[in-house]
Amino acid sequence: MPRLSRYFIKAGLLYFVLAAMLGTLILGRSALRLPPEIYAFTPVYYHLLMVGWVTQLIMGVAYWMFPKHSKEMPRGSEKLAWAVFIALNAGLLLRLVVEPLLMTLPALNLGGLLLLSALLQWLAGMGFIINTWTRVKER
């Protein structure tokens, strides 16, 4: 398994654990007597699962197992693939911190950081599509 796939999959597993813990806190708010502000983490919870875990696991496995791009560049552009990993995780981590803060403390004016998070994740998605497209082919 290439090193980048290991990074994608291990990062995905960490998000999975984090999402499960966050989901437990959100669902168990009453029993655990947590403040209602915990609900500000609900969109983050869904995105940790779908972007952090599911999509990132797919990216890691696809980078590893999809048909080779060419003999010279079997997995497409390695630099682009690393950039996807970094941008996706930077964007998601930024969202994890900024979105709940923005919802609970709007006076902090952190909207620009959320825009940056959106841009980073979008770029990661586009980079993955570009790098993967040519590897989706018949034998």
Partner 1 sequence: MPRLTVWMVRTALLYLGAGFSLGALLLANKGLPLSPEIWRLLFPHIEAIMLGWTFQLALGVAFWILPRHPQRPKYGYVHLAWAGYILLNAGVLLVIGGEFFASEALTLAGRLVEGLAVAAFAVQLWPRVKAFGV
- Using CB under 8 A, list all residues that contact partner 1: 50, 54-55, 58, 66-67, 95, 98-99, 102, 110-115, 117-119, 121-122, 125-126, 128-129, 132-133, 136-139
Please write down the HEC assignment for all residues of 58-78. Answer: HHHHHHHHCCCCCCCCCCCCH
CB-CB contact of 84 with 4 (8 Å): no
Q: CA-to-CA distance for 138 and 43, rounded, in angstroms?
A: 38
Q: How far is the CB of 9 from partner 1 (least distance, A)?
A: 16
For the bound state, the minimum distance from the C-beta of residue 38 to partner 1, rounded and expressed in Å, comes to: 18
> Taking a C-beta distance cutoff of 8 angstroms, is the pair 85, 57 a contact?
no
Min dist. Cβ of residue 124 to partner 1 (A): 8
Q: Among residues 27 and 115, whose Cβ is nearest to partner 1?
A: 115
Taking a C-beta distance cutoff of 8 angstroms, is the pair 90, 113 a contact?
A: no
Q: Which two tokens stand for residue 39?
A: 């609900």
C-beta closer to partner 1: residue 28 or 66: 66
Q: How far is the CB of 129 from partner 1 (least distance, A)?
A: 5
